[in-house]
Amino acid sequence: MSVAVVVGTRPEIIKIAPIIRAFQNRNVDFRLVHTGQHYDYELSKVFIQELELPRPDYSFRLRESKPATQIGEMMIKLGRTLRRIDPKLLIMQGDTNSMLASALTGVKLGLPIGHVEAGLRSYDWQMPEEHNRRMVDHVSDFLFAPTNLAKRNLENEKVHGEIFVTGNTVIDAVKQHIPIASRKSVIMKKVKLGGYALVTLHRSENVDNPYVLRNIVKALTEMPIPAVFPVHPRTATRLRQYKLLENLSSSKAIQLLPPIGYFDFLMLMKNCKIILTDSGGLQEEATAPWIRKPVLVLRTSTERPEAVVAGFARVVGVEKHKILKELTNILEDPPKLPDISPFGDGDAGEKIAEIVKKVIL
């Protein structure tokens, strides 16, 4: 009897990689399924090879792009695949549409479901991920919570599944991949600016709103330190549409980069002074002992409050004056960051694999 491991996006591949390696170390039989959620499916396949992971046993090419119809298409294809595998456990990570489709399919097929990174809550219903993670948690039989706070969230909601506190596999991923990135990445040879802030921006509520995007762009052009900004394809489209790209590209203190790989990104994080982002995962990665950088969260809420409590992250919203004020505060009075991450010691994958082998299989 095997475990079906489902991934759909590159962040999920990164976070599931430590579990796959731990399964391999323990001879846990598994089948890897790639839903093809990201439009750059071919890049995802290359990405899996770069991380030295096994090729997916099953993978899909999706025709639909709208969320509701895409989830439906994934459920149909996952249903056929999971019936073929007939796994003893369906395991997934995170809060994307792929994970919701996987969980709903598993429920309808009567499969036990394990959710990695369970219990995260932003309490912000503007976030599609908040809907997804809540639904997945409430149909899961085994919930792998990264922190005690996540466990309390699940207990307060009276989920029916069994809860295990394991840490977050993203810390494992940084630990395992930083040495590879140091050998393979050449991105720092391309960076022209020293003492830079690393910027990422991709969330729809930020980049699809011209008022919000304009505010953030103004903040970036007025920052007291240089910025390195790998531009997400969705963000690039909106910057052109709202005629804001020139504001950034004409600045000598901002270096725009095309989308970059995971290893390059690890090196950019390792060498920056501060991170400005609307990403959830980066709030966790920044706390890893091998990165340890302060983060300004360009959102009005976070599902990673542990990073805020530990002193790594500050939620600053999207107004220019607040972003610049907090940035100046950190530069003038750098916070003393903890040596350990609130998201674990880098052994979450091993813990999850041990639980799967001993408790579930």
Burial of 144 (0-12, 13-18, 19+ CB in 10 A): buried
**Exposed, middle or buried by CB within 10 Å (0-12, 13-18, 19+), for 184?**
middle
Handedness of CA 309, 178, 165, 280 (dihedral sign): positive
Find out whether 34 and 56 touch, Cβ atoms under 8 Å. Answer: yes
The one-character DSSP state at 150 is H
Helix (H) or strand (E) holding 199, with range, is strand 197-199
First to last CA, the chain: 8
Residue 353 CA to residue 350 CA, distance in Å, equals: 5
Check if the beta carbon of residue 292 is closer than 8 Å to that of residue 298.
Answer: no
**What residues act catalytically?**
202
Q: Can you point out the beta strands (E) in 74-136?
A: 89-93, 113-116
In 208-297, which ranges are continuous DSSP H helix?
Answer: 210-221, 233-241, 245-249, 262-271, 281-285
Q: Which residue has the tokens 């399924």?
A: 33
DSSP 1-65: --EEEEE-SHHHHHHHHHHHHHHHHTT--EEEEE---SS-HHHHHHHHHHTTPPPPSEE------
